[in-house]
Structure 1
Amino acid sequence: MFPLPARTLLRRGQWQGPPAARAVLTYDERFLRRKRIACQGGASLMVDLAETVSLDAGDALQTDDGRLIEIAAADEPVVEVRGPNLARLAWHIGNRHTPCQVGDDRLIIRQDHVLEAMLTGLGATLTPVITPFRPEGGAYGHGRTLGHDHGPHGFPLAHAHG
């Protein structure tokens, strides 16, 4: 069977009713523009969006025939970060432009032995866990950050990271 074409993204809250299928995707898989994805139950989609987007759990892709495919975040190996000064740990993670899921008493990052060693040196307690990874979106409502264009102005700012 050919994959169903899907060219429309509906964000969580912009769609209702039961989905026709569900696609469970990792953090990396949820960043796409044109890609074939598998749904639970065996169906597949050919996603063909106008621009690259970061899908969130609860979003839906709409197929050309009107069916809704719900997006879910897959369990994946990540690292739970806890420590007495969580704000300081978060600052060091952010200073490295690393995706981070922020909770009240913990941070969650992707596995990265260099970052893990630095955080341990700063007094963090690290625990490997398997859970969906839903990091904070980038600044200025842009979702994932891909470079040093920090704002909505459309031109890079000259700066350094110390």
Structure 2
Amino acid sequence: MPMSLPSLKASRYHGHAHQAQPTAKVSLDYDGRFLRRKVLRLDDGQSLLVDLPNTTSLDHGGVLILEGGGEVEVVAAPEPLLEVTGDDLTRIAWHIGNRHTPCQIEGGRLLIQRDHVIRDMLGKIGATVREVEEPFTPEGGAYGHGRTHSHAH
């Protein structure tokens, strides 16, 4: 049986909503929010063909603009992470950044994607590490946008 084409299509993205109410929502993990062309399953079950001009990092709270009108809100989905705490969080953050690891920085903790090598390194420098499942919205690149990357590229 042939697969039916998505009824919704988006070819533009904005970092923030323009409409008070989105037409729909799509929940994606960090890796899933980096795309150019892909069929996505919206939270309400509809299919959406995303066809952007360039590979784009979609931010939590950004919107995909539907052809024909409307916006699909992008939501950061919970995913497996490591919560990192410690007495010298600045030093710990430096070591994480030195390995080009995406990192969500909060007042008393850091969140990173699960990685056994980084986890082992963090234990050796005195960090406390705990597994959690939460939405992941790491800091952008050095100029306030874009993505950092691990060395697994």
Decide: shared fold, TM above 0.5: yes
Instruction: Indicate the residue corresponding to 1:100 in structure 2.
Output: 103
1:16 counterpart SS class: coil
Q: What is the aligned counterpart of 2:43 among 40, 62, 77? A: 40
1:52 counterpart SS class: strand
| Aligned-partner residue type, residue 99 of structure 2 | R
Instruction: Indicate the residue corresponding to 1:8 in structure 2.
Output: 12
Identify if the C-alpha distance between structure 1 residues 82 and 134 changes in structure 2 by more than 3 Å, giving closer, same or farther. same
Alpha-carbon offset, residue 2 of structure 1: 2.5
2:119 counterpart SS class: helix
Q: State the distance in 2 between where 1:102 and 1:47 align.
A: 30
> Residues 64-101 of structure 1: CA distance to partner in whole angstroms, max 9, x if unpaired?
11121110000111000000000111000000100000
User: Do the aligned partners of 2:102 and 2:138 also contact (CA within 8 Å) in 1?
Assistant: yes
Work out whether 1:132 is the aligned partner of 2:135. yes
2:32 counterpart SS class: coil
Which residues of structure 1 form unaligned runs of 5+? 148-162
Alpha-carbon offset, residue 146 of structure 1: 5.1
Identify if the C-alpha distance between structure 1 residues 146 and 120 changes in structure 2 by more than 3 Å, giving closer, same or farther. closer
Alpha-carbon offset, residue 61 of structure 1: 0.4
After TM superposition, list the pairs within 5 Å mapping 1:12-161 onto structure 2. 12=16, 14-145=17-148
Q: State the distance in 1 between where 2:143 and 2:23 align.
A: 33
Greater shift, 84-93 or 135-144, is seen at 135-144
| Aligned-partner residue type, residue 105 of structure 2 | V
Alpha-carbon offset, residue 18 of structure 1: 0.8
Calculate percent identity across the aligned residue pairs.
51
Q: TM-score, normalised by structure 2?
A: 0.91
RMSD: 1.6
Q: TM-score, normalised by structure 1?
A: 0.86
Alpha-carbon offset, residue 11 of structure 1: 1.4
| Aligned-partner residue type, residue 12 of structure 2 | T
